[in-house]
Amino acid sequence: MKKVILAALLTLVVFSCSKNYNAKIYGKIEGATSGTVVLKILEVSAQKSIDSLKFNSKGEFSYSVQLEEDSPNFYYLYYNNNKVASMVLLPGDNIKIITDTLGTNPVVSGSQEAEIFSELDKSLQSTKHNFDSLVELMQEAQEQGETEKETSLNYSLGKLYVKQKQAAIKQIYSNPNSIANVMLLYYKLADGLPLFADPMDVHIFNRVHDSLKVLYPNWVYLQRLKEEVNYREKSNLLSSKINEASVTGFPDISLPDIKAVTRSLSDFPSKVILLSFWTITETSQKMINLDYKDLYEKYNSKGLEIYQVSLDSDKTAWATAVSEQELPWTSVCDGLGTESKPITTYNITQLPANFIIDRNGEIVAKDVYDNELEKLIRSLL
């Protein structure tokens, strides 16, 4: 009897250790009558063919995908060597795909991740098409000596790049747990032109890594993300960027808020930032905060952020003032008073004080108030 029970337990253990992870895809390739449909997987930096799929006279097919582990991965569907659909697959997914032989406008449904990834892929392809078209026109203008047109097209290329990067950052911050964020981090508009080429983008890589690590601790891409973060943090280029910050951008500040959560000035990429220094002992600051609240209510949805640094030594009194005044923005304080590091970093000689930082991270003004402050913020937004 004991042998029978032991055998049953061993069988259960073997079964649980050899668990299969499957996902099913159902699809239709409109216009497909003959040819080959191939499913490929992205293995970190290269695509690998998994299998050829059979389809009927209507272009319909179904396929069960054996996933390599209990983690997501990126898959692509090709028809006669044309990529016609992109998707993310997780164990248990049932994905439906409708596309055509050229992959003109694929529709992927069945899971939120698959849909997000497919829509992002389509959007990026559209942007790349526009980018390549502008490059061609600029090269033609250059060959024909049309300097003014070449300059204008070059400006349009830069504008398109910035717009796409801003959209990518918005996606990452709006959907912090999305697998598709990894694709955005490594996307290139052209050879040698990644969206996140700036070494200072390291905090975005770190953010994506930390968010996904909770959900998929064994995912192969996490190791690559961590290596990227380590490389950028140790990079000489990163060091030079930090050293030059007072000239070409703003020095970062990282201090605790009223909930003891560390908040950084660099947490607001591509935003217009009002950096405010204050103390609760300054009687005029309460009225200034009321003005700031009006600005925040008007322009926060359009891209304005306020990062307010208290130089008080009594953190309890400061936190009480923040709560009583119902200040909606990021308020931080280290309790060191006049010994607080940001005083030296920003050369604060009197309070209150403020700095205005534009979307490119450049300090464009200091100690601006009232109507002039609103006028400046409106122009930057």
Q: Burial code of 360-369, b = ≥16 C-beta within 10 A, e = fewer?
A: ebebebeebe
pLDDT in tens, 46-65: 888 989 988 898 989 999 98
- Over residues 184-211, the mean pLDDT reads 84
What phi and psi values does residue 361 have, to the nearest 5 degrees?
85, 20
Name residues whose C-beta falls within 8 Å of residue 223's C-beta, 6 or more positions apart in sequence: none
Q: What is the pLDDT of residue 354?
A: 92
Tell me: the pLDDT tens digits for 302-352?
Answer: 899 999 999 998 988 999 999 999 999 999 999 888 888 888 888 888 889
Q: What is the three-class DSSP state of 367?
A: coil
Domain boundaries, the chain: 21-110, 120-241, 251-380
Kindly report whether the global pTM for this prediction surpasses the value 0.75.
Answer: no
**How many angstroms separate the CA atoms of 282 and 331, rounded?**
16
Composition of the chain by helix, strand, coil, percent to 5: 45, 25, 30
Q: Of how many residues is the chain composed? A: 381
CATH 2.60.40.1110 fits 21-110, yes or no: yes
Bridge partners for 381 per DSSP: none
Q: How confident is the model at residue 10 (pLDDT cuts 50, 70, 90)?
A: very low
Helix (H) or strand (E) holding 254: strand 254-256
The yes/no answer on whether domain 251-380 falls in CATH 3.40.30.10 is yes
pLDDT tens figures, 115-155? 888 888 888 889 999 999 999 998 998 889 888 888 888 88
Cβ 245 vs Cβ 252: under 8 Å: yes
The H-or-E segment that residue 364 falls in is strand 363-366
The C-alpha atoms of residue 148 and residue 295 are separated, in whole angstroms, by 39
Pairing status of strand 272-278 against strand 304-310: parallel
Q: Which of 330, 278, 284 is nearest to 304 (CA)?
A: 330
- Enumerate residues 6+ apart whose C-beta is below 8 A from 379: none
Average pLDDT over residues 205-224: 87
